[in-house]
């Protein structure tokens, strides 16, 4: 059975790249690009892993992560957070909120695949 990943990202090139890498590796990839409705999407069809951008329209990745961690059903869901801003304070905030792993853009295909595989022991 294929593992399901939800990519919450608003940059079409990144969505396409991650979707290609992961589907080629046997993952079922779902995408969502609106921060406001991201948590509803996760609850409606719970994935095995969430790849979450920090800067999204409507609601930040940090707020989405906080909501996930505050909800018992999603508190342990692995979250790989992506950001174009690799500042230390972003990383520290993500870690305080309970991110599973943090990755700065640009990233390599191999990095994404390795992180996803390690977060969900496939």
Is residue 122 reached through a cis peptide bond, with omega within 30 degrees of 0 on the bond before it? no
Note whether residue 93 is domain-resident: no
**Residue 14, token pair as written in the block:** 């990144």
* Predicted TM-score of the model (pTM): 0.95
Q: Are 5 and 100 in contact (CB under 8 A)?
A: no
Q: Does 92 reside within a domain?
A: no
In this structure, is residue 64 part of a structural domain?
yes
Nearest to 21 by CA among 116, 121, 85: 116
Domain that holds residue 40: 4-87+99-119
- For residue 27, is it within any domain? yes
**Local confidence pLDDT in tens for the 122 residues of the chain:** 779 999 999 999 999 999 999 999 999 999 999 999 999 999 998 999 999 999 999 999 999 999 999 999 999 999 999 988 778 899 999 999 999 999 998 999 999 999 999 999 74
CA–CA distance, 103 with 54 (Å, rounded to integer):
10
Alpha helices in the chain (DSSP H): 12-24, 38-44, 61-70, 88-97, 109-119
Q: What CATH number is given to the structural domain containing 66?
A: 3.40.50.2300
Q: Is 53 part of any domain?
A: yes
The answer to whether the beta carbons of residues 80 and 54 sit under 8 Å apart is no
Question: Would you say residue 65 lies in a domain?
Answer: yes
In a domain, 111, yes or no: yes
Identify whether 57 is part of a domain: yes
Specify the number of domains making up the chain: 1
């Amino acid at each position: 059975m294929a593992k399901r990943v939800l990519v919450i990202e608003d940059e079409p090139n990144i969505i396409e790249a991650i979707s290609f890498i992961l589907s080629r590796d046997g993952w079922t990839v779902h995408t969502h690009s609106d921060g406001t409705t991201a948590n509803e999407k996760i609850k409606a069809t719970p994935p095995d892993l969430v790849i979450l951008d920090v800067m999204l329209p409507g609601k930040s990745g940090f707020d989405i992560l906080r909501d996930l961690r505050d909800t018992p059903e999603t508190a342990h869901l692995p979250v790989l957070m992506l950001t174009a801003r690799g500042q230390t304070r972003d990383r520290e905030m993500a870690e305080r909120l309970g991110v599973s792993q943090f990755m700065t853009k640009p990233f390599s295909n191999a990095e994404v695949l390795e992180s996803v595989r390690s977060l969900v022991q496939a």
